[in-house]
Amino acid sequence: MGKRRKRPETFPPATWRLLESGPLDGPTNLALDEAILTAVASGESPPTLRIFNFTSTTISLGYEQDWDGLDWDICEQEGWHIVRRASDGRAIMHLDDWNYALYLPLFDPRAQGDAAAIARRFNLGLEYGLITLGLDPTRMQPFYHDTGPPGFGSFDGPSLYNIVVGQQALVSGAQWRLETALLYQGTLPLSSDVTLLSQAMLFDLPGQRIAAQLRLGRRAINLNTCLGQSKPVTEITAAMVAGLGDGLDLTFVPDNLTPTEQIQTTQLRPKYAAEAWTKRV
């Protein structure tokens, strides 16, 4: 087990809402992100941590990522769904994973600084959770031993948003900023085959797919492989939520969506289900 790094900053203690929304389809998860962030931005909802996953295999593209990096025919044959996040970053293939999202107003001291500072701040809390689970994580360095260019996937290459074990990425991060609120979210693969994204990507030559698969295997890893065993999701959630609380001076209180958030999620879902949105870039 790793040793906790000393926190470089402290914050006024605060209480946030904890939502465990369970498995939802891709468009609903993305619509819920926007509904909650909008409500937090307006002050109608408190700062929130949401824990969630997906009902089926789903590839989420980053907001500004080109959609034509995917082989849509293969994805359709395999039944893999494709959506586009409003947050930044590169593609993530959601299989068996644990996903988190933090929604907070920009006046909160935890939202101060540039994107890299925010990532370091939230990742420290996530690292605390991983240490509780028995790992020795570090923040991804801008460059590491594998100096090839970043690939199509979020875990495929160096990123300041990622958390690594050894030299392999384990937890991703992405941000979405409104005028008055911030979303920081990411994924922790549990038993997912982290190389499977290569099967969904579009290549000119068969050898390129094999190379991408091997590269992902070097660059990324899942939690079960790191631990050498599987742990109950309830135990993982408890450790990660406690880590975020310790790292950010927060207490999380379980609660539910507001009626307004529920209505807005229903209204926003068609936007994220539309091909016009998914193929906007």
Residues 152-190 have pLDDT tens digits of 999 887 677 899 998 899 999 999 999 999 999 999 999
70 close to 165: Cβ distance less than 8 angstroms? no
60 beta partners = 83, 92
User: How confident is the model at residue 145, as a pLDDT?
Assistant: 52
Q: Is 228 left (phi over 0), alpha (psi -120 to 50) or beta?
A: left
85 beta partners = none
Domains in the chain and their CATH numbers? Answer: 14-274 (3.30.930.10)
Q: Is the pLDDT of residue 86 over 70?
A: yes
Q: Is the pLDDT of residue 142 over 70?
A: no
Q: Can you tell me whether residue 185 is helix, strand or coil? A: strand
Distance separating alpha carbons of residues 93 and 233, to the nearest angstrom: 19
**Helices 233-248, 115-132: crossing angle, 10 deg rounding:** 130
User: How confident is the model at residue 150, as a pLDDT?
Assistant: 73
84 close to 29: Cβ distance less than 8 angstroms? no
What is the value of pTM for the model shown?
A: 0.94
17 close to 48: Cβ distance less than 8 angstroms? yes
Q: Is the pLDDT of residue 141 over 90?
A: no
Distance separating alpha carbons of residues 120 and 140, to the nearest angstrom: 10
Q: Is the pLDDT of residue 149 over 80?
A: no
**9-67: pLDDT as tens digits:** 999 999 999 999 999 999 999 999 999 999 999 999 999 999 999 999 999 999 999 99
51 close to 19: Cβ distance less than 8 angstroms? yes
Burial category of 134 from C-beta neighbours within 10 Å (exposed 0-12, middle 13-18, buried 19 and up): middle
**57-82: pLDDT as tens digits:** 999 999 999 999 999 999 999 999 99
Helix (H) or strand (E) holding 15: strand 14-24
What is the arithmetic mean of pLDDT over 100-120? 96
